[in-house]
């Protein structure tokens, strides 16, 4: 933004109106997605008597199809209005979630998950990697991306806890409606944004820009492995208190990053966090105490 050339760093606000709107939208989006994550495979096993492997595979294709729109990300974002792309994909994402009670085979569930994975990929690229940058002064864009990501993490933990808590008491259809309500909430916030005008470009249809850069490959694999660990944990634990404890752990990590690790390098923070993650997994594996697991 041009205001960076005329105003000092202290006057470049992080929490502008548009930044708050985008962060809340991301929070609601992650709640919507992660409510279904522990509920959907359990519902499939209980009602269709399929194996946990089949149910897990149908749910896991979501992560695989997130990579499919990647080569087209640059074309989609630079050719069309970014806010319009975000609104359309969020509307489709919420609409697809409403179809789960009406499918009758594992294959159709997998198909819906594939569609949602592709849509979620476009949404995250449009919001986190584009709109957040558009509404933030250039000197605060790193801070904005970090804050935006944290809203998604808190939404993830809250969505998991909410899904595990309400499913024993509510029907699967009601859980789907709750999921859709949060998705619609994320959608309704986007039209409130004021996005600076940007002339459309003519990028190629397929490009690795905004998708895969060679220097980010190793950090990406590292993050993939960390996410895999969380996926395995989510697949085995149906206890809302556990996910509330993860939510509390996120808050603690924010405090540690701000006050204890504020002057360390990014690599040192990653090493500390992954060591803590390994320690937590070992504690879960070798402890019979429920409190230790929490």
pLDDT at 291: 67
pLDDT at 292: 67
Q: Which domains does the chain have, with CATH numbers?
A: 14-212 (1.20.1250.20), 215-294 (no CATH)
Residue 2 has pLDDT above 70, yes or no: no
Alpha-carbon separation of residue 112 from 107, 117, 168 (angstroms): 9, 9, 24
Phi-psi region of 202 (alpha: psi -120 to 50; beta: other; left: phi over 0): beta
pLDDT at 96: 94
Spatial contact of 61 and 121, defined as CB atoms under 8 Å apart: no
Tell me, letter by letter, the H, E, C secondary structure of the chain. Answer: CHHHHCCCHHHCCCCCHHHHHHHHHHHHHHHHHHHHHHHHHHHHHHHHCCCHHHHHHHHHHHHHHCCCCHHHHHHHHHHCCHHHHHHHHHHHHHHHHCCHHHCCCHHHHHHHHHHHHHHHHHHHHHHHHHHHHHCCCHHHHHHHHHHHHHHHHHHHHHHHHHHHHHCCCCCHHHHHHHHHHHHHHHHHHHHHCCCCCCCCCCCCCCCCCCCCCHHHHHHHHHHHHHHHHHHHHHHHCCCHHHHHHHHHHHHHHHHHHHHHCCCCCHHHHHHHHHHHHHHHHHHHHHCCCHHHHC
- Highest mean pLDDT out of 17-31, 63-77, 264-278: 17-31
- Cα separation, 42 vs 55, whole angstroms: 8
Residue 224 has pLDDT above 90, yes or no: no
pLDDT band at 256 (very low <50, low <70, confident <90, very high): confident
Alpha carbon 203 to its chain centroid, in Å, reads 27
Per residue in 57-69, pLDDT tens? Answer: 888 899 889 988 8
Spatial contact of 187 and 84, defined as CB atoms under 8 Å apart: no
Spatial contact of 74 and 210, defined as CB atoms under 8 Å apart: yes
- Cα separation, 128 vs 275, whole angstroms: 27
Per residue in 198-218, pLDDT tens? Answer: 767 777 888 777 777 888 888
Residue 27 has pLDDT above 50, yes or no: yes
pLDDT at 109: 93
- Cα separation, 25 vs 12, whole angstroms: 22
- Cα separation, 39 vs 32, whole angstroms: 12
Lowest mean pLDDT among 10-14, 18-22, 248-252: 10-14
Per residue in 127-170, pLDDT tens? Answer: 987 899 888 888 888 889 999 999 999 999 999 999 999 998 99
Spatial contact of 179 and 29, defined as CB atoms under 8 Å apart: no
pLDDT at 97: 93
More confident residue, 248 or 239: 248
Whose tokens are 């994402």? That residue is 93
Share of the chain above pLDDT 90, in %: 40
Per residue in 160-171, pLDDT tens? Answer: 999 999 998 999
């Amino acid at each position: 933004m041009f205001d960076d050339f005329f105003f000092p760093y202290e006057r470049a606000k992080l929490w502008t109106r548009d930044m708050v709107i985008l962060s809340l939208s991301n929070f609601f989006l992650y709640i919507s997605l992660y409510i279904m994550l522990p509920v959907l495979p359990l519902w499939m096993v209980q009602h269709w008597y399929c194996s946990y492997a089949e149910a897990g595979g149908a749910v896991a294709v979501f992560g695989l199809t997130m990579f499919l729109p990647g080569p087209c990300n640059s074309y989609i974002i630079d050719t069309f209005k970014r806010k319009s792309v975000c609104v359309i994909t969020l509307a489709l994402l919420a609409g697809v979630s409403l179809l789960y009670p009406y499918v009758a085979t594992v294959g159709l569930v997998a198909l819906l998950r594939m569609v949602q994975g592709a849509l979620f990929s476009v949404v995250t690229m449009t919001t986190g990697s584009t709109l957040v940058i558009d509404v933030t002064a250039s000197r605060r864009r790193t801070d904005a991306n970090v804050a935006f990501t944290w809203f998604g993490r808190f939404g993830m933990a809250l969505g998991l806890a909410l899904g595990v808590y309400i499913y024993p008491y509510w029907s699967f259809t009601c859980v789907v409606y709750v999921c859709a309500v949060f998705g619609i909430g994320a959608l309704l916030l986007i039209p409130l944004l004021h996005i600076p005008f940007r002339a459309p470009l003519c990028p190629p249809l397929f490009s690795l820009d905004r998708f895969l850069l060679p220097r980010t490959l190793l950090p990406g694999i590292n993050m993939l492995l960390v996410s895999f660990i969380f996926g395995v944990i989510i697949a085995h634990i149906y206890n809302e208190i556990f996910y509330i404890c993860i939510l509390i752990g996120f808050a603690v990590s924010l405090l540690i990053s701000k006050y204890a690790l504020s002057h360390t390098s990014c690599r040192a923070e990653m090493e500390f966090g992954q060591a803590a993650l390994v320690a937590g997994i070992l504690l879960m594996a070798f402890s019979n105490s429920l409190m230790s697991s929490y």
